[in-house]
Amino acid sequence: MTLDGFLTFLGLAAAAYAIIPPVARLRIRLQLGVQVTVACLALLLVLYFEFFQFVALPCPAVLNAVCGSIQISPHGPFTPQMAAFVVVLVWMILAFGVVTSLPPSRRSLRPMADLLEQLFHQARYSEAVDFIVPHLTFAERAQNRRLWSQRVRDWLAGDRILDVEDLLAKRDGPDGSLAKRNLFGPLASMLPSGHAAQENAERILNLMYLSRQFMDYVSSQRPSVTAVLLTLDVHQRFDFSNRLLESLISAPGSRLYEELERNANYEGIGHNLVVGHNFILHAYFSDVRVAGTLHAWKPVGDYVITSIRNPDEKNVSKLKEKSDDFDKGRWHDPVAVGIAYFDLMVRSAFSQDVEDAMWLAYLDHFVDELAQVYDTGGSGIDNTAEFPIWASRLIYEVVNTLGRWVELTHVAPVNSPHRTFPKSLHLGSPSIPANAARSLGISLHHILRSKRIEDTFAMYMVECAIRDLRYLVQPEDKEARRFLIKSIVSGGGHEKDKAYGARLAHLISRIDYVLIQDAEDLVGAAQLAFPDENFGHTT
């Protein structure tokens, strides 16, 4: 390579740097120190070989063997220009390797944070995502002081976070590891503290998690990135999850609505309930413990309750309209979508045998709010229809969903917590069927105690609950059937509510005997609980 050729190469390299994607330039800047070092060494070697005839140095004695096999001469087989070309070629390979393979170091975190702040200030979120996402796991480790240098320093300094149970177990004996750390404690001062890396990592993660504009961008345009942010082990994800779900459920037509609609055909139970490209649902429910850790039920449940309790003018009229087009409009209704969301979450928890009912009791609160705004007084409303108004269909969806959860006890593994039922309705339990049975009884209590809900629809809801009993007839279903009967009769634990008992008796006495004959034990238990009422059927 001649000197002109080398200058041409430098010009082409500068031109290539100017046209490569901005994200690639940002990544090059992260390893700027290494790149400059390699470039300076290569430049010195190239200049040395280009001016070899003027600055040639004699071969050191220790390299005589090497120099003897490689002779550089302007008139020999291996000329200085060839050597310069080899240097440039090696330089290119090393520069490419640094960009693509060299992992970031803790010193990279500050320029990463500075660059990310610039991108966020300019609202260049697409470039920010492409730049930082490959390094998020590294930033997570740095913030949590899990880089090897931080861990070693903390261990030597005795700053390691101790497990409380392990500490209590050893409180009566000598702690050998603590003694060793005290012995090597002075060495900690010789190592970098890692606090700067921790602070810069926190700057990066705060930018990613706390920006409302960025959250809106990734949830709509880059949902796969949203999934990554939800699963990182960082404290910022809790607030991020709450704001994300609240934002999505409050915007009909958002990514959450779309994913739930696409996922609607995946019913029943199993380990593949969520379609892979439904990134947000997959992040929460592919391992439902993520949803449990983030309390993913609260933002959705709270918003649904608020939307019923304080509806805007459009939602008020919607709840009072006919439900003829429910199947078409349900995926734009926050209450219906909220029910579908809880259904997927609870079925995922059951399928993964997680000991958590996922706060499914939010559903009976939905019924309570719907019962308080229930109004069939509008024009053209048929009170004898199966679902007179939109609110009727929503109440039915809750009752039907709770009933399906109760029936999951059939398919629960033998030693699963979801096959157990407590002795009392007032005892807590991680069992999904048990909590669903209690919530079903409470929902019936709200329906029957409401003066707004006519007998025809109220009786239909009681019939739905009785039909759930018809699936609990096997010997192994004895406890489940007992628990569900107790929940129906008492309204989910309101044992002394005589007004509830009176209306329950009134409705049961009107139910067709064909349905009641499979629930004679229910009628008997109701008669025993409310001896002054007439349930109209012989038991």
> Which stretches of 107-266 are DSSP H helices?
109-121, 125-132, 136-143, 148-157, 164-169, 176-188, 195-210, 212-221, 223-231, 236-249, 255-262
In 3D, which of 338, 479, 328, 476 has the Cα closest to residue 397? 338
The predicted pLDDT at position 160 comes to 57
Would you say 343 and 281 are in contact if contact means Cβ atoms under 8 Å apart?
A: no
In tens digits, the chain (539 residues) has pLDDT values of 677 777 787 888 788 777 766 666 666 676 677 778 888 898 888 888 888 777 777 776 666 666 666 667 776 777 878 888 888 888 888 888 877 776 778 888 998 898 899 899 999 999 899 889 989 999 999 999 999 888 888 877 776 554 544 545 555 455 555 555 556 666 767 777 889 999 999 999 999 999 999 999 999 999 999 999 999 999 999 999 999 999 999 999 999 999 999 998 888 887 778 887 899 999 999 999 999 999 999 999 999 999 998 877 666 678 999 988 898 899 999 999 999 999 999 999 999 999 999 999 999 999 999 999 999 988 888 988 999 999 999 999 999 999 999 999 988 988 899 999 999 999 989 999 999 999 999 999 999 999 999 999 999 999 999 999 988 888 888 999 999 999 999 999 999 899 999 999 999 999 988 888 888 999 999 999 999 999 876 54
In Å, how far from its chain's centre is CA 335? 21
Residue 352 phi/psi, 5-degree rounding, is -90, 5
Distance CA 34, CA 435 (A): 60
Cα distances (angstroms) measured from residue 529 to each of 116, 497, 536: 66, 10, 15
Whole-number Å distance between alpha carbons of 96 and 9: 15
Query: Looking at residue 12, what is its pLDDT?
Result: 80
Q: Is 256 left (phi over 0), alpha (psi -120 to 50) or beta?
A: alpha
Count of beta carbons in the 10 Å neighbourhood of residue 367: 27
Backbone angles phi, psi at 122, to 5 degrees: -95, 5
Whether 401 contacts 358, CB under 8 Å? no
The C-alpha atoms of residue 229 and residue 231 are separated, in whole angstroms, by 6
DSSP at 518? G
Query: Which residues are CB-contacts of 483 (< 8 A; sequence separation ≥ 6)?
Result: 421, 422, 425, 434, 437
pTM: 0.83
Measured CA to CA, the distance from residue 463 to residue 164 in angstroms comes to 52
The reported pLDDT for the residue numbered 154 is: 83
pLDDT of residue 539: 46
User: Could you give the angle at which helices 498-508 and 455-469 cross, rounded to 10 degrees?
Assistant: 80
Cα 240–chain centre separation: 10
